C-alpha cells in the first residue's frame, strides 16, 4: 500500500484509534503513544518536522501488518515514502542498534521510550494535519527526488 494523500494517511491514523493489537489491548493506545512521541520530538527538535512525523506514523504498521511485528516497520516505511519522502521512511524503518548510532535515530528512540512513561497531553491527531501537509507538499515540490 502506498499513501498518496494526507487525507489517506489521516484516515489510516484515525483507524489506529479504533484498532487494538489483540484481545485486552486498548484501542488507540498505539496512536496515543505516537502522538506523545511526536509531541516530545516537537519539543526537543522543533525544526525537524520529518523526525516528528516519523514518530507519529509508526502505528500505521499495526494496520498494514496486523498478524505480527515482523515487517511492520518496513511496510509502514513503504507506505509513507511516496507521501512524506525517503528520510521519513528511513527513520520509520530503522531500528537503533547498540554502539555509535545516528543522532536522529537516538532522538526518535528516546522520545519513543519517554512517551511510554509520560503523562503528557499530546493533543489530538488533527493537530498534525498542517505538519503532514507541509512535509508532503515539500516532498512533492522537490519532485519526489530524494
pLDDT digits (tens, 9 = 90+) for 66-96: 666 667 888 899 999 999 999 999 999 986 5
Residue 13 C-alpha cell reads as 491514523
Is 71 within 8 Å of 64 (Cβ atoms)? no
Neighbours of 139 (CB within 10 A): 21
Q: For residues 34 and 13, give the distance between their C-alpha atoms in angstroms, rounded to a whole number.
A: 10
Residue 30 C-alpha cell reads as 498505539
Residue whose grid cell is 493506545: 29
Q: Where are the alpha helices (H) located in 28-102, listed in sequence order?
A: 29-44, 49-57, 60-64, 72-84, 86-93
User: Model-level pTM?
Assistant: 0.85
Q: Which residues contact 83 (CB under 8 A, 6 or more apart)?
A: 2, 3, 4, 5, 6, 8, 9, 136, 139
Question: Bigger pLDDT: 26 or 121?
Answer: 121
Is residue 35 predicted with pLDDT exceeding 90?
A: yes
pLDDT at 24: 47
Q: For residues 32 and 116, give the distance between their C-alpha atoms in angstroms, rounded to a whole number.
A: 10
The chain-wide mean pLDDT, for the chain, equals: 84
Residue whose grid cell is 523526525: 51
Residue whose grid cell is 530524494: 146
Q: Which residues contact 143 (CB under 8 A, 6 or more apart)?
A: none
Q: For residues 11 and 19, give the distance between their C-alpha atoms in angstroms, rounded to a whole number.
A: 12
- Segment 134-143, tens digit of pLDDT: 999 998 877 6
Amino acid at each position: 500500500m502506498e499513501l498518496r494523500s494526507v487525507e489517506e494517511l489521516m484516515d489510516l491514523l484515525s483507524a489506529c484509534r479504533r484498532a487494538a493489537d489483540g484481545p485486552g489491548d486498548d484501542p488507540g493506545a498505539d496512536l496515543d503513544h505516537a502522538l506523545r512521541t511526536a509531541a516530545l520530538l516537537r519539543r526537543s527538535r522543533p525544526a525537524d518536522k520529518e523526525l516528528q512525523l516519523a514518530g507519529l506514523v509508526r502505528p500505521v504498521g499495526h494496520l498494514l501488518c496486523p498478524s505480527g511485528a515482523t515487517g511492520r516497520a518496513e511496510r509502514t516505511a513503504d507506505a509513507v515514502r511516496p507521501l512524506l519522502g525517503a528520510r521519513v521512511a528511513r527513520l520509520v524503518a530503522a531500528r537503533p542498534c547498540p554502539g555509535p548510532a545516528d543522532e536522529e535515530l537516538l532522538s526518535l528512540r528516546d522520545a519513543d521510550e519517554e512517551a511510554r512513561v509520560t503523562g503528557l497531553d499530546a493533543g489530538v491527531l488533527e493537530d498534525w494535519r498542517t505538519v503532514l501537509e507541509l512535509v508532503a507538499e515539500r516532498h512533492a515540490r522537490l519532485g519526489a527526488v530524494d
